[in-house]
Chains A and B, each alone.
Chain A
């Protein structure tokens, strides 16, 4: 069984500050890990993915995440927040299997203040 836990349902930062959104996973097999972003009243957009290649993954809009097996973590970071980053962020995990079913965390709402 796989699961992800996102610490903090809401994270508030000031514009220009570091963004850190936490995700810990549980998986009995080597996982594939993803971060998705959801803007209000929209579907989910892939930010980045880890698929057992480089442990530091760079995504769109300046986001990156580091896979740490020893900590079972896949935290999302961005050096400098922008107002347009305000959205809900979901961490997700899947097995390396033939069918691609994602298990999502509950999400973290990122609030960016001027």
Chain B
């Protein structure tokens, strides 16, 4: 069973640029959630995708957008990067028998630094 994988693991961007982060969900999972973890903070929910549709969104501006593909992999796009977007971005998958328990399986994250 393949776990959740994310790419890239680290990247550096400058203010105003755009970034795309990628996530492959765990085998058999149809739901992908994205979280932002700023330094010294707990993860904050960005949004969730279920069967290619956005299925919930946290308090993040529209420049944070996402996609889910038919194979349930997902992308997180952030436009017009700001310094405060520097964080660890975590992808988590869930689904199947775990869908109603909230159990999420996390990847190792993509660490974004905005200069």
Contact = CB atoms under 8 A, between A and B. Distances in A.
Contacts, number: 73
A34 interface: yes
Contact of A100 (B4, B102, B109): B102
A49 B101 contact: yes
B112 interface: no
A43 B48 contact: no
B55 interface: yes
B26 to A, nearest CB: 12
A43 B101 contact: no
B93 to A, nearest CB: 10
Interface string B49-90: 010000110100000000000000000000000000000001
B100 A42 contact: no
A87 B48 CA distance: 27
A100 B105 CA distance: 11
- The winner among A45, A46, A104, A105 for most chain B CB atoms within 10 A is A104
Nearest to B4: A43
A86 to B, nearest CB: 17
A103 interface: yes
- The winner among A43, A94, A104 for most chain B CB atoms within 10 A is A43
A4 to B, nearest CB: 8
A113 interface: no
Contact of A104 (B31, B42, B109): B42
B43 A94 contact: no
A100 B102 CA distance: 4
Interface in A97-114: 97-107
Contacts of B43: 44, 90, 102, 104
Contact of B107 (A34, A43, A101): A43
Contacts of A101: 33, 45, 48, 56, 58, 102
Interface of B: 4, 31, 33, 35, 40-45, 48, 50, 55-56, 58, 90, 92, 94, 98-109
5 contacts: A43-B106, A44-B90, A96-B100, A100-B31, A105-B42
